[in-house]
Structure 1
Amino acid sequence: MTAATLMAIWLVHLAAAISPGPAVVLAARTSLREGFGRGSWLAVGLGLGACIWACAAMFGLAILFRVAPALLSVLKYVGAAYLIWLAWRMWRDAPQPLSMDLPVGRGRRGASGLVWLGIATQLANPKPAVFFGTIFLTFLPPQAPFWAYAVILMLVFANDAGWNVIVARLFSLERTRRGYMGLKTTIDRTFGGLLALMGLKLATT
């Protein structure tokens, strides 16, 4: 495993991580509504979810999809349904005023809950499944040493978590937050519409 190979893997995955998708949308919305800290916990979960897909790719995901191609189709439709469900929730709740106070007897997700939400979002998203099961594997040399797998996982986590932390920071700024408060319904329904379009695209391609 050469430094050039690791650099190529890092760059191609970074390009995939920063491309628009459900992870970026949720990181932006969470930070707008709840602040940078909570958006960062979500980003950690997104990074861990990407690592799970990378592990699956390194240990046989492509073989599994070739043996059982219907599995990828099932994954695609489940992911599409999940994105459309999230879009419906965003659209439905958009007109409701944003309150920073929690209702009695209810609480927001804690840090661990946000991490799990990030992991679930990645696992339900066919975009990383397709990327890691195809493009990623073309850059992965056969019979790489164990240390190389560990380094690759660290690069994958740094790309996904790091980019979404940047997104969380940008969308948590006070100026951005004030603008959101004034345009909450429009922005939430825009985010919801984007997720719905992503879901429909997944289901029809």
Structure 2
Amino acid sequence: MIDFSAVTAVFSVYIVGVVIPGPNFVAVAHKSVSATRRDAFALVAGIVVVNLFWATCAILGVGVVFAIFPWVAIAVKLAGAGYLIWFGLRLIRSAGTRPMAVQNVSASSGFGSAFMQGVATNIANPKSIAFYAAVFSTAAPAHVRAPTFLAMLATVGVVASCWYGGVALFLSHEAVSGAYRRAQKWIDRACGAVIVALGLRQALR
């Protein structure tokens, strides 16, 4: 039997966490305006899969692991911050130099490539790690039964898919992506600077 109070608690915490802009949002926004809609949805799929992974870890007690072995949390945090800084700097350096994608399949960089970019962005996202370890794990009760566990994961999957998918759908509209192409260099630099700032902020906290 599903514990709906536990599922509701997870929903109320998660929906607030997912809509707060962070590296995942920036990655989805940039992919949506700079590549095909198919690639944007592939990146969203990668982010959703990792969200399900972190949610599973949180429910099973990753917060306890980090509490017992704080060096693991520090190592994960620094590795994630390093990835974000590297990714942001690469985006700044390549601003305006890549071919401008159009909304067709031939311009696609490949579903697998975009999917793995979403996985890499989220798996190294310090915001996600901290949220699931410190906040989500508190909302999710320990030792839940299988139906409740699956309902919690379904909640995470549906909310993440709807939010990031909606962002990708809106920003990949031709009018929006066309505006991006007209100011590609400066938008790329702004996105890169935001990602670098997020990485530095996490590394220095």
| TM-score of the pair, normalised by structure 2 | 0.91
Give the conservation status (yes or no) of the 8 Å contact 2:9–2:139: yes
Residue matched to 2:156: 156
Question: Within 1, Cα distance between the matches of 2:54 and 2:47?
Answer: 11
Structure 1: gaps (5+ residues):
102-106
Residue matched to 1:96: 97
Deviation at 1:147, TM superposition (A): 0.9
Question: Within 2, Cα distance between the matches of 1:196 and 1:160?
Answer: 24
Cα-to-partner distance string for 1:57-106 (whole Å, 9 max, x where unaligned): 122211211111011111111111101111111111113253449xxxxx
Deviation at 1:108, TM superposition (A): 5.6
Give the residue type in structure 2 aligned to 1:25: V
Question: Within 1, Cα distance between the matches of 2:190 and 2:82?
Answer: 18
Give the residue type in structure 1 aligned to 2:195: L
Give the residue type in structure 2 aligned to 1:81: G
Residue matched to 2:18: 17
Residue matched to 1:118: 118
Residue matched to 1:128: 128
- Percent of residue pairs identical: 26
Give the conservation status (yes or no) of the 8 Å contact 1:98–1:181: no
Question: Within 1, Cα distance between the matches of 2:79 and 2:33?
Answer: 27
Residue matched to 1:146: 146
Deviation at 1:112, TM superposition (A): 2.4
Structure 2: gaps (5+ residues):
none
Give the conservation status (yes or no) of the 8 Å contact 2:3–2:148: no
Give the conservation status (yes or no) of the 8 Å contact 2:122–2:128: yes
Residue matched to 2:30: 29
Paired positions, count = 200
Give the conservation status (yes or no) of the 8 Å contact 1:57–1:137: yes
Alignment of 1:53-132 (within 5 A): 53-96=54-97, 98-100=99-101, 109-132=109-132
Deviation at 1:8, TM superposition (A): 2.1
Question: Within 1, Cα distance between the matches of 2:31 and 2:70?
Answer: 35
Give the conservation status (yes or no) of the 8 Å contact 1:43–1:162: no
Question: Within 2, Cα distance between the matches of 1:17 and 1:143?
Answer: 24
Residue matched to 2:185: 185
**What RMSD over aligned residues (CA atoms) do the two structures have, in Å?**
1.7
Q: Which moved more, 1:67-76 or 1:135-144?
A: 135-144
